[in-house]
Amino acid sequence: MNSSADSKQISSKEILARTGISRATLNNYISLNLIPPPTIRRPEEPGGPTKIGYFPEWVLERIEEIRELKAAGVRMARIAAHFMGEAEETVEVPTEPIPDHRYRYVEELAFPAILVNRGWEIIWINKAAEALLFGKPLLETPLTTRQDIFELFVAMGVQNRFANWKDMLTALMRLARSDLAEEFFEYKERGHLHEEISRLWREADTLADGPIMQQKLVLKTFDVKTTHLTLFSASLREGTLLLFIPTNMQMDQILDLLMGKLGLVKDLIPKKIPDLTPLCILAGRLESDLHLRSTLPPSEYFELINQIILASHRCFKEHGGTPGRSFKEGVVCFFPSSPESPQSYLYQALLCAQDLQNLIGSLDRSWKYKQTWNNTLRMSIGIHSGNEWLGTIPSPLAFEFTVVGDTLTEAIKLSEFSQRGAIWASKRVVENLLPTDRERLEFGIRLGVYQERFVSPGIYSPVRDLLGQDELERRDLQEIGNLAVTEIVNVYP
Return the CATH number at 235.
3.30.450.20
Mean pLDDT over each residue of the chain, to the nearest integer = 76
Same domain, 108 and 186: yes
pLDDT at 87: 35
Q: In which region does residue 27 sit, left (phi positive, over 0), alpha (psi from -120 to 50) or beta (all else)? A: alpha
Same domain, 111 and 65: no
CA–CA gap between residue 231 and residue 245 (Å, rounded): 6
Quick check: is 254 in a domain?
no
- Given a contact cutoff of 8 angstroms between Cβ atoms, the answer to whether 335 and 390 are in contact is no
Same domain, 351 and 384: yes
pLDDT at 96: 40
Same domain, 142 and 82: no
Same domain, 345 and 426: yes
- Given a contact cutoff of 8 angstroms between Cβ atoms, the answer to whether 314 and 355 are in contact is no
- Given a contact cutoff of 8 angstroms between Cβ atoms, the answer to whether 101 and 115 are in contact is no
pLDDT classification of 39: cutoffs 50, 70, 90: confident
> For the chain, first and last CA: distance in Å?
37
pLDDT at 205: 85
pTM, entire model: 0.49
| pLDDT at residue 190 greater than cutoff 90 | no
For the stretch 25-35, pLDDT in tens is: 787 787 677 88
pLDDT at 323: 81
Residues in a beta bridge with 385: 280
Residue type, 434: L
pLDDT at 483: 92
Domain count, the chain: 3
pLDDT classification of 47: cutoffs 50, 70, 90: low
- Percent of the chain whose pLDDT exceeds 70: 72
CA–CA gap between residue 88 and residue 322 (Å, rounded): 41
pLDDT classification of 269: cutoffs 50, 70, 90: very low
| pLDDT at residue 108 greater than cutoff 70 | no
The least confident of 37-51, 108-122, 347-361 is 37-51
Quick check: is 379 in a domain?
yes
| Residue 237: domain span | 101-246
Domain boundary among 51, 68, 90: 90
Select from 107, 183, 111, 198 the least CA-distant residue to 150. Answer: 198
CATH value at residue 16 = 1.10.1660.10
Select from 233, 225, 185, 227 the least CA-distant residue to 207. Answer: 233
Same domain, 236 and 278: no
CA–CA gap between residue 323 and residue 311 (Å, rounded): 12
For the stretch 349-372, pLDDT in tens is: 999 999 999 889 888 888 888 777
Same domain, 280 and 392: yes
Quick check: is 252 in a domain?
no
Same domain, 146 and 207: yes
CA–CA gap between residue 460 and residue 454 (Å, rounded): 12
pLDDT classification of 141: cutoffs 50, 70, 90: low
Quick check: is 251 in a domain?
no
Same domain, 28 and 79: yes
Same domain, 69 and 169: no
Sequence-ordered alpha helix ranges (H) in 32-163: 59-71, 76-83, 105-108, 127-129, 149-155, 158-161
pLDDT at 89: 40
Residues in a beta bridge with 462: 484
Burial 52-68 (b: 16+ CB within 10 A, else e): bbbbbbbbeebbeebee
The least confident of 389-393, 410-414, 480-484 is 389-393
Q: Are strands 423-426 and 377-393 parallel, antiparallel or unpaired?
A: parallel
pLDDT classification of 259: cutoffs 50, 70, 90: very low
Quick check: is 297 in a domain?
yes
